[in-house]
């Protein structure tokens, strides 16, 4: 065989190997995401991208360590518990992904949705898990960045960089704290909380997309709610209609849905990643989507789901969609004024997800930084 022939054969073999590797990689990645508008590939904030790279490396390194404990196999999609530095624990339950029919408020707004596997928090995030993030002693500017004279001191301290200044009045608004859901954070604060605990735990966390939230609430089925078609059983699963008198409740007192999630109906509203659009099918321009995310292009409105304890049964249903509004932020509980809290939402909390696949650095950046955090 001539040298030219040998080189040609090597090239052919290499091409075949690369093709197989790429095919395998694509098979593991799952369906491509329908994200609109598309994620920007440049124009990143330098400091936030630096943080994303540090956290991404920690998560990837931790995944490799865990892989050794599984004899080289990927982590199983099973329930697990993450413990924060404060000792607070967050239980995460698996959602295998799959397909469901996504019905909107308008009759023609019907989409077939395919979702990749993920984990979701069994309960709404409680004060015990949120307060250590909220109570930071670092002085900040309105945009959330540390004041200039503090930057050199804390430039490598991610614990501080991703946290707000403490409020000057209790964010419980006179209601209960111990074991109860954390309240009144903006979507920006919820995103930064996900970034903060991602660094703490070595697992990537973010807010759920609207589709992920609804799929988990419906337990992967096309049925309307956790209680099925019998609305007479709704009280077994949901806090609604003012049945908690004047306040929210400790998560887990009501029955879970078929996947084990508590309080997805009522108690407190929950943030999603998505910008609100009236007709999702019209927005995406097709009948079927995979891992959809309506990425924000303006501060309001965003989609919040689940309803709260004072709302009606219809408002706490799986399909109900609520919109954030500037009226949620009439006053500001921080000095200096900031974009971290909504002071007029003592019924708004969050629940977190962890996708099975670790995102790229650029994707992490976009999940934690919407780019439209500041009010108009």
Q: What is the pLDDT of residues 138-151, one digit of tens each?
A: 554 444 454 454 44
Interval 280-303 mean pLDDT: 96
**Measured distance CA(46)–CA(57) in Å, rounded:** 17
CA 125 vs. chain centroid, Å, equals: 11
Residue 324 and residue 301 in contact, taking contact as beta carbons nearer than 8 Å? yes
pTM, to two decimals: 0.84
Which tens digits make up the pLDDT trace of 39-50? Answer: 998 899 898 899
On the question of pLDDT at 9 being above 70, the answer is no
CA pair distance 316, 310, nearest whole angstrom = 10
Angle between helices 187-201 and 46-69 (to 10 degrees): 40
The residue behind tokens 């936030």 is: 48
* Fold for the domain defined by 54-368: 3.90.1580
* Whole-angstrom distance, CA of residue 82 vs CA of residue 75: 15
Q: Please give the DSSP secondary-structure letter assigned to residue 269.
A: E
Section 111-126 average pLDDT: 98
59-103, pLDDT tens digit by residue?
999 999 888 877 778 889 999 999 998 899 999 999 999 999 998
Cα separation, 99 vs 114, in Å, equals 4
Q: Is the pLDDT of residue 332 over 80?
A: no
Match 């059983």 to its residue by tokens: 233
């Amino acid at each position: 065989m001539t040298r030219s022939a040998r080189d040609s054969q090597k090239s052919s073999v290499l091409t075949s190997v690369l093709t197989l590797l790429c095919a395998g990689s694509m098979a593991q990645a799952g369906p491509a995401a329908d994200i609109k508008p598309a994620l920007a590939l440049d124009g990143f904030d330098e400091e936030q991208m630096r943080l994303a790279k540090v956290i991404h490396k920690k998560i990837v390194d931790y995944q490799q360590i865990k892989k050794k404990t599984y004899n080289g196999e990927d982590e199983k999609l099973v329930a697990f518990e993450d413990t924060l530095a404060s000792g607070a624990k967050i239980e995460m339950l698996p959602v295998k992904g799959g397909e469901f029919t996504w019905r909107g408020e308008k009759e023609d707004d019907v989409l077939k949705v395919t979702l990749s596997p993920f984990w979701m928090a069994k309960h709404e995030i409680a004060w015990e898990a949120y307060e250590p993030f909220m109570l930071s002693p670092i002085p900040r500017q309105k945009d959330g960045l540390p004041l200039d004279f503090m930057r050199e001191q804390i430039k490598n301290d991610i614990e501080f960089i991703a946290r707000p200044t403490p409020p000057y009045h209790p964010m419980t608004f006179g209601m209960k704290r111990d074991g109860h859901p954390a309240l009144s954070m903006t979507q920006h604060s919820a995103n930064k909380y996900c970034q903060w605990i991602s660094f703490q735990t070595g697992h990537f966390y973010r807010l759920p997309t609207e589709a992920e939230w609804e799929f988990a609430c419906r337990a992967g089925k096309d049925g309307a709610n956790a209680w099925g078609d019998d609305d007479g059983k709704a009280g077994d699963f949901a806090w609604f209609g003012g049945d908690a008198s004047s306040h929210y409740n400790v998560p887990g007192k009501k029955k879970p849905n078929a996947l084990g999630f508590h309080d997805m109906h009522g108690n407190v509203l929950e943030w999603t990643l998505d910008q609100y659009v009236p007709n999702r099918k019209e927005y995406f321009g097709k009948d079927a989507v995979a891992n959809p995310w309506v990425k924000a292009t303006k501060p309001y409105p965003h989609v919040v789901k689940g309803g709260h304890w004072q709302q009606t049964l219809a408002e706490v249903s799986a399909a109900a969609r609520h919109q954030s509004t500037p009226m949620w932020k009439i006053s500001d509980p921080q000095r200096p004024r900031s974009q971290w809290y909504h002071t007029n939402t003592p019924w708004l909390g969050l629940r977190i997800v962890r996708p099975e696949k670790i995102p790229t650095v650029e994707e992490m950046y976009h999940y934690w930084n919407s780019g439209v955090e500041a009010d108009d």
